[in-house]
Amino acid sequence: MYMADDQKPLILVVDDDEKLRDILRMKLEAVGFEVAVVGNGKEAIAAAKHRAPALIVMDVRMPVMSGTEAVVELKGDAKLKDIPVLFLSAFGEEDMDRAWIDTKIAKELGAVDFMKKTSSLSDIIAKIKELAHG
């Protein structure tokens, strides 16, 4: 796990929604994390290779490379395979059948957990804190 000089765990936020990335970055920095943000799975892999984060918060569906494709590549890399990944998906309650499929896929790919973006921001931040501090 990468720790900055001041011992703040690094969280890598991967999402094509710039507004959500900025909100998560601000909230996570406010609770003591160092945060890096990128917009797709390909950028996530490059960022993780550059500085291995304590946790990757990964959108499922993105352009260029999806979160699921990125996790398959991360888990296939001996240096990156142990980085925990928390998947986020935009699917809400009306899409529970589809969200269940994503949850199942996420677990099969090796993600540590899955949350809907429709969850409260405080619940998402609490889950990130739990996973990053292990």
- Tens digits of per-residue pLDDT, 56-80? 999 888 889 988 889 999 999 999 9
- Describe the chain by its helix, strand, coil percentages, rounded to 5: 45, 20, 35
Give the pTM.
Answer: 0.86
pLDDT at 92 > cutoff 90: no
pLDDT band at 3 (very low <50, low <70, confident <90, very high): very low
Q: Which amino acid is at 50?
A: H
Q: What is the pLDDT of residue 58?
A: 93
Domain 10-132, CATH homologous superfamily name and number: Response regulator (3.40.50.2300)
pLDDT at 104 > cutoff 60: yes
Torsion on CA atoms 87, 89, 92, 98, rounded to nearest 10: -90
Q: What is the mean pLDDT of residues 71-91?
A: 89
Per domain, the residue ranges of the chain are 10-132
DSSP line for 59-76: ESS-SSS-HHHHHHHHHT
Q: What is the mean pLDDT of residues 19-36?
A: 95
pLDDT band at 110 (very low <50, low <70, confident <90, very high): confident
